[in-house]
Amino acid sequence: MKFKKTKIAALALASCLALGSMTGCALVTNNLKKDLEQVVATVDLTKSEDYASLKGTIKASDILKRDLVASYASVGSTYVNSYGMQPADVYEMLKNQLVNRQLYVQYAQAYFLDKDSTKNKAAWDSAISAAPEGEKELAAIKYFLDEDEIATAEYNVKSSLNSTLDSQELEYIETEVDEHDHDTARTTPTGIDTVKEGYYDPAYKIYTGYNAASDCGTYEAQDGSTPTTRMKAYKTLLSNLHAYGLVSKGENTSDITGLSYYISELKSEYETQLINKLGDEYEEQAKAKVREEWVKEEKYQTTLASQKEQFGGSDSSALESALDGVSDTSFVLYAPDNYGFVINILLPFSSRQTQELNDSEADFGDVKGNKFVKRASLLKGLVATDQRNTWFTGHEDYSYEAGTDAYTAGNADRKYLFFEDSMTKTEGTDGVPAQYEKIPNYLGQYTYNGKVFESTDEDGDKVYNFQPAKISIDGFLTEMKNYLDFAGLSLTEPDYPNGTGNDYYSQKSYYAQDGTVDYSKFLYYEAKVDFEEPFNACHIFQDGSQENLALSVINELSFAYNTDTAGLNTYLGYVVSPNNTDFVKEFEYAAQEAVRGGPGTITVAPSDYGWHVMYCTFAYSADNPTPYGEEFNWDEIEVEGTFSNLYYEALTAANFSSYSSELQTTVLNKYNNDTCVDVFEDRYKDLYEA
């Protein structure tokens, strides 16, 4: 069970105000502030016999009508419009969530009072008494948190409010849509701009326009932001809060952190930290139950034996379905020979070339209608370009100027990389913890391949124009080889099975003697990454391993050039079966050939879509049908990214979820009753009654 955070969403409130009312709701009353301050439920765990001794120490929690209204404003319409629920039922559900949250917060307080000898009722009472008026409830939660948890909570609230102000400020920033805004946004790698769990910036502040953005720590103002637009956004937020009675008349609004609204938000975030702290306790208890022998014997060996029996027969449907579902929590430990995965980088024909191919006659009157000869002549003129233009010009400009250590192929015009936060802010400095996670499986040093012309328009906004380099299939393969070299990896001597240049493009026959198409005739290129050590499937997602380094290079090149966008951000790529598939046959053959070559194998072949560059990421072979090993390696469960780590974390996560849910359910079933909870339905039923 997850507890919904008691969070007031300023944008949701603004939406409600704009509507004036919601279906079945009367949000506006003659005395709105007084109405919203009504208590709709009171939660007091100490009314139970189990915690009666803590009466007067653990304080009862009042849930106000405004909490319920805010929750409905945030999510209520989704339940009504998308799930067909009645407003009355939604309010009842949200009321229960708010009640359960407060019960659980009080239970966490009791838990840590009992567990931690340094926490006692006298010290707790003293901390609460010492807090200023208006912050005593805050102090009651803060008492159970350490310095990092307190700092994280404060950062989260400030960051959330800055995001709310950012959204509001956009309405006041004059923007002009340029020609590139009509381009389809390029898919970005999974994991960009992922803030590290528990990150906080001690210098971070909320930017209201009355202060300087440069004095707000790591906060970055939006493009086009000015003190005037920010102050307008802040005034709009204050207006919404006043309308809902969330800011009292006479409060000093020049300091947002002194507002009663901010204190309320901070209390909510402290509660979240306390609930998470209790969750960490449960997680440790759950992990303690995951013993080595249980993982190795009851789980891994049992699953391996079951998969050998299930997937070893002639019916491949169950195996292929399982392979389709492979992820970092779902694993196929065994598969027969020549199953695997490939990344496909499609370098496409231009629309003109596609039309020319469609309009052409079949090869020399080929009764099967094939146009292989014509296609070969078009392939000779096919050029690819870097597809990342919209990473400059989309909703957000992800580009930044590269340093001297980036890959440029010796071209001084190539000077832009992407995702600066995720590439350069992954290590802590000067007492400030690292802010961002590194993008997984993405090297991040391949500069935009082309010229970028940067200028400003009449409004002072940045404008980009592009002259992408045009590269042939050989040009792409050179880029690939050189970028692998840049990463410290090398390729085996490449093989051109059907020749290069005119030897390849001037083939006249693509048929075997029996009249069937010989798809080996289409194979243009084959090579393999020359790993220093034998490929270890257990390390493919381990950052810094040779296996992950090769994957990261190919994955980044795929984001740069691939127009098969369905293949971006897949786990290991497309599932490849040795059987007949639904893939076009040239693609199927090249993919199967890559899998036959094993992980690190690269093949190139065409189809009517253009060139396909295949990279085998993972394979099951006759010599190695169990790539993760016949036995589980317990020694690597703490080595992040290894198979053992991922498998162990998946097991413990499932165990923790079950264990935690059971404990939470026990607590709530036992104490969410008429003894500990008083509900005053007559105080909020006007919200859904006509």
Q: Which residues contact 92 (CB under 8 A, 6 or more apart)?
A: none
pLDDT of the residue at 29: 44
pLDDT of the residue at 36: 83
Q: How far apart are CA 326 and CA 312, in angstroms?
A: 18
Where the chain has pLDDT below 70, the residues are 1-30, 174-183, 365, 429-432, 690
Three-state SS for 64-133 is EHHHHHHHHHHHHHHHHHHHCCCHHHHHHHHHHHHHHHHHHHHHHHHHHHHHCCCCCHHHHHHHHHHCCC
Half-sphere exposure of 327 (CA within 13 A, CB side): 8
Burial class of residue 459 (count of CB atoms within 10 Å of its CB; 0-12, 13-18, 19+): exposed
Kindly calculate the radius of gyration of the chain based on its CA atoms and give it in whole angstroms: 31
DSSP at 623: S
CA distances from 355 to 473, 506, 609 (A): 20, 21, 11
CB 477 within 8 A of CB 604: yes
Give residue 232's identity as a one-letter amino acid code: K
pLDDT of the residue at 242: 82
Name the CA dihedral angle for 668, 673, 677, 678, rounded to a multiple of 10 degrees.
150
pLDDT of the residue at 614: 98
pLDDT of the residue at 431: 63
Q: Each residue of 5-16: pLDDT tens digit?
A: 333 333 333 333
pLDDT of the residue at 2: 41
DSSP at 296: I
pLDDT of the residue at 183: 62
pLDDT of the residue at 677: 96
pLDDT of the residue at 101: 93
Q: Tokens standing for 357? A: 């191919």
Q: How far apart are CA 265 and CA 251, in angstroms?
A: 16
pLDDT of the residue at 18: 31
Alpha helix positions (H), 534-584:
546-561
